[in-house]
Amino acid sequence: MGNQDINGTKGITKASVLAGMAVAGASVNMASGQGTDRVRIGLIGCGGRGTGAVGDSMKADPTVTIYGVADLFESRAKGAADRFAKQYKDRCKITPDTIFSGFDAYRKLAAMDLDYVVMATPPAFRPYHLRACIEAGKSVFMEKPVAVDPAGARSVIASGKLAEEKGLCITCGTQRRHATNYMNTIEQIHQGAIGELVGGQCYWNGGGIWYRGVEQGQTELEWQCHNWYHWNWLSGDQLVEQHVHNIDIINWCFGGPPAKLLGMGGRLTRDYSKQAREAAIKLNGDDKKAKLYEGDIFCHVGTEMTYPNGAKVLSMGRHAPKSTSRVNERIVGTKGHSDCCRSIVDWKGEKIWSFEGRGTGGRTEEHAVLIEGMKNKKPVNEARRIAESTLTAIGCRMSAYTGREISWDWLLNSSKLEYLPPEVEKQLKPGPGIFHEIAVPGQTPLI
């Protein structure tokens, strides 16, 4: 096992690195592209990550052209359309008739004549948006995570199966899966470089997140969706929204999800009392709901994830001001250990393999792989594996919130937790918000 750089990668890694270049030079003749040489895309969710993902798509293939945008908020949809028109010029074909807003905007965009849809709304809505796009015959790039509860994860798995039947592609925003440094390193792990896997750690410890104020004209539910990170029913908690990246790497190393989860955590440093009071006064004229407006997600969760071979991995997610930041992974085997992204070290402390060079970041490659799959009629489908990693993070949260150990079989097949049932999603409209009590381990029921 010797050193490798980006130009010396082999097998599947090299294929992924070159995917963007191969796609860029190919001829496109998509059925839904009306015989043109353009890859026609649309965007659902016009925030920073959504507009960024469109940029990644544009970089992945010079024929990508955007035809429509959809967002809950009209101002955000129009703003994105204006930015795309200035930034991409002739690669932006958005018209006033293809700018959609409101809770049902995604259905209108899914009905357009497109090749694939970029999805980057709050995670709660992703199962519904994915289903609508797949049923409409569109391939999909969706940001992570893809659900906030077991019901949503099962829906994504079902949509993935439907996509297979239709020959459609699905890729997702876990960019480490398409980053050459991770791909090469984990390939070595799978080939036995550190022996049998016996444990590991993964972390997303950061300083905190944004809290958005009330914009003029917003109702309570619209503001809550605008400030979505702070509610479990919208974000799934920090474990699901951010730490899913690191959990996904551990699942990748082991070839699948854990068998059991035992977590603990709490809410100690999330003090948004001042901002919540200001929001309550703007929305209701008083501060009676201020406590609800602080959100219900925890600030720290630690979980023991036990994999089918008995290996135990520590998962740690935390937001705390002025705290040590750590966002990485480590996997341990009988012969040594690895950071999963660049090096493998034996138990004598000697480096026995390393990835050298800049590598690729993965975000452009996520789109290149999808486009290549569409062009070559060899669909790529990442729905099951991102649903499993999302569900792993959901299980970590559920265990910590309830104080109960959870088995993967129960989580996947038996849990009835569903924050946003279909009948509620169909009736969402500007008005009152949706609030839940903050969980208390040992008291909050496991559903």
Question: By percentage, how much of the chain surpasses pLDDT 70?
Answer: 92
Q: Is residue 188 part of a domain?
A: no
* Residues 122 and 216 grouped into a single domain: no
Q: Is residue 367 part of a domain?
A: yes
Q: Is the pLDDT of residue 207 over 80?
A: yes
* Residues 63 and 98 grouped into a single domain: yes
* Residues 263 and 131 grouped into a single domain: no
Q: Is residue 431 part of a domain?
A: no
pLDDT in tens, 64-98: 999 999 999 999 999 999 999 999 999 999 999 99
- Average pLDDT for 267-283: 95
Q: Is residue 430 part of a domain?
A: no
Q: What is the pTM of this model?
A: 0.93
Q: Whole domain around residue 341: which residue ranges? A: 193-355+388-425
* Residues 421 and 275 grouped into a single domain: yes
- Confidence label for 165 from pLDDT (cuts 50, 70 and 90): very high
Task: Give the integer Cα–Cα distance in Å for 19 and 7.
Answer: 14
Supply the mean pLDDT for the chain: 92
User: Cβ(19)–Cβ(369) under 8 Å?
Assistant: yes
* Residues 326 and 374 grouped into a single domain: no
Residue 264's domain is classified under what CATH number?
3.30.360.10
Which two three-digit tokens encode residue 298? 């925890």
Q: Give me the pLDDT at residue 20, please.
A: 39
* Residues 112 and 228 grouped into a single domain: no
Q: Give me the pLDDT at residue 359, please.
A: 86
Residue 59's domain is classified under what CATH number?
3.40.50.720
Q: Is the pLDDT of residue 35 over 80?
A: no
Task: Give the integer Cα–Cα distance in Å for 355 and 183.
Answer: 10
* Residues 348 and 367 grouped into a single domain: no
Question: Phi first, then psi: what are they for 136, rounded to 5°?
Answer: -85, 0
* Residues 241 and 103 grouped into a single domain: no
Among 49, 50, 28, residue whose Cα is nearest residue 39: 28
* Residues 141 and 213 grouped into a single domain: no
Q: Is residue 184 part of a domain?
A: no
Q: Give me the pLDDT at residue 14, please.
A: 39
* Residues 168 and 254 grouped into a single domain: no
Residue 102 CB coordination number (10 Å): 17
Q: Give me the pLDDT at residue 36, please.
A: 56
Task: Give the integer Cα–Cα distance in Å for 321 and 319.
Answer: 7
For the chain, the domain total comes to 2
User: Cβ(156)–Cβ(186) under 8 Å?
Assistant: no
* Residues 90 and 59 grouped into a single domain: yes
Residue of 122 and 20 predicted with greater confidence: 122
* Residues 159 and 301 grouped into a single domain: no
Q: Is the pLDDT of residue 33 over 70?
A: no
